[in-house]
Amino acid sequence: MALPFSGNFILAECIMNDALNQLSQRGDGFSFGGVTIAPQASLGDWQNALGQAFETAGIRTPQIDARRLILAALEPEGTNVESSREISDLEASRIAELAQRRIAREPVSRILGQRKFYGREFDVTPATLDPRRDTEALIRSVLAIVNAEEWRNKPLQILDLGVGSGAILVTLLAELPQAMGLGVDLSAEALETAQANACKLGVADRARLQEADWLEGVSGSFQIVTANPPYLSDEEIAQLAPEAGAYDPRLALDGGHDGMKAYQTIIPALKNVLAPGGWCVFEVGPGQAAAVEKMLVYHGFNTENRDLSVRKGVYNVERVVAGKRQTGSS
């Protein structure tokens, strides 16, 4: 869960309201920030107009977002559409509707209900976190552990705590065809999305899902336990960019006043489910790696293999901490 932060909420809201006012339909077309565009204008013209409106709204990737939304409105044509292609009246109103939502800072993945994660397209719903690129570091971490332990062809048992959309569990099951997995979440709606993704991505026969409060009522013996728990502090939640603050469920973000609540609950209970010699692999928030590692060591985990125990995410910040349960530990 890598979250974009913006300390400038009021400014963002003003820009958003301005941009919304600028995106208005006229009898002869649509107007974006002083640019009027005829409904039959080309795809390229629409992309430029949307790009400008998105930039004015403070969106970080205006052109990319404009193209994705326009292509979604033209479905099912695919991605190889010429810039010179004319846009019909009906398509123009569809594009305008999607654009209004983006200007209101709804993420593209939420508008389309889809997010690509580790090369696969996942459904996302209001009950799930929008999976983040940083979480792909956790996937790479687990795969490095599996290779180092020579577990690739073993019938591994994987437990994913806080499964959400299933981004972690479903990806691991797809990457490790011999593995079986259990995904746990407190949200029944999130579990439904995880189930849908497991079906869509062909791993449903190896995935079980359970509604539970972390490890309460969870039984079994797993070689790998993963978790990307909510880890934002109260202060970080107050500073979230509109895309995350308004659209990701609070349950997926809120890590208690200092962001550490989930780790404090999960780590002491791991011995009940993690096989001796097994690994736990956590995503952590920026600046939390040392504290989570300390907690793991205190509870009998070995973090001495630095190549496997700490991994950086996309912004070169430590985002994954892993520990091996000592063989023979109680």
Ligand X SMILES: C[S@@+](CC[C@H](N)C(=O)[O-])C[C@H]1O[C@@H](n2cnc3c(N)ncnc32)[C@H](O)[C@@H]1O
Q: Can you give the three-state secondary structure of 178-191, one letter per residue?
A: CCEEEEEECCHHHH
> Exactly one of 35, 38, 104, 186 binds ligand X (CB under 6 A); which one?
186
Q: Whole-number minimum distance, CB 34 to ligand X, in Å?
A: 39
* Segment contacting ligand X by CB under 6 A, of 49-57, 160-168, 274-282, 321-329: 160-168
Residue 260 near residue 288 (C-beta atoms within 8 A): yes
- Would you count residue 245 as binding ligand X (CB under 6 A)? no
Q: Whole-number minimum distance, CB 65 to ligand X, in Å?
A: 21
Residues 107, 112: Cα–Cα separation, whole Å: 9
Number of residues interacting with ligand X: please give it, by CB under 6 A.
22
C-alpha distances out from residue 223 to 175, 179, 268, 289, Å: 16, 10, 17, 22
Residue 2 near residue 134 (C-beta atoms within 8 A): yes
> Exactly one of 107, 230, 259, 313 binds ligand X (CB under 6 A); which one?
230
Contacts of 330 (CB under 8 A, 6+ apart): 271, 300
Nearer to ligand X, 162 or 278 (CB): 162
Contacts of 160 (CB under 8 A, 6+ apart): 168, 169, 172, 181, 182, 183, 184, 225, 226, 227
Q: Whole-number minimum distance, CB 184 to ligand X, in Å?
A: 6
Q: Whole-number minimum distance, CB 186 to ligand X, in Å?
A: 4
- Would you count residue 129 as binding ligand X (CB under 6 A)? yes
> Exactly one of 51, 58, 62, 162 binds ligand X (CB under 6 A); which one?
162
Nearer to ligand X, 4 or 277 (CB): 4
- Would you count residue 167 as binding ligand X (CB under 6 A)? yes
Q: Whole-number minimum distance, CB 149 to ligand X, in Å?
A: 23
Residues 136, 162: Cα–Cα separation, whole Å: 16
Within 10 angstroms of residue 9's Cβ, the number of other Cβ atoms is 14
Report cis status (omega within 30 of 0) of the bond before 76. Answer: yes
- Among positions 197-226, residues that touch ligand X (CB under 6 A) are 213-214
Chain residues that interact with ligand X, rule: CB under 6 A: 1, 129, 131, 135, 162-165, 167-168, 184-187, 190, 213-214, 228-230, 251-252
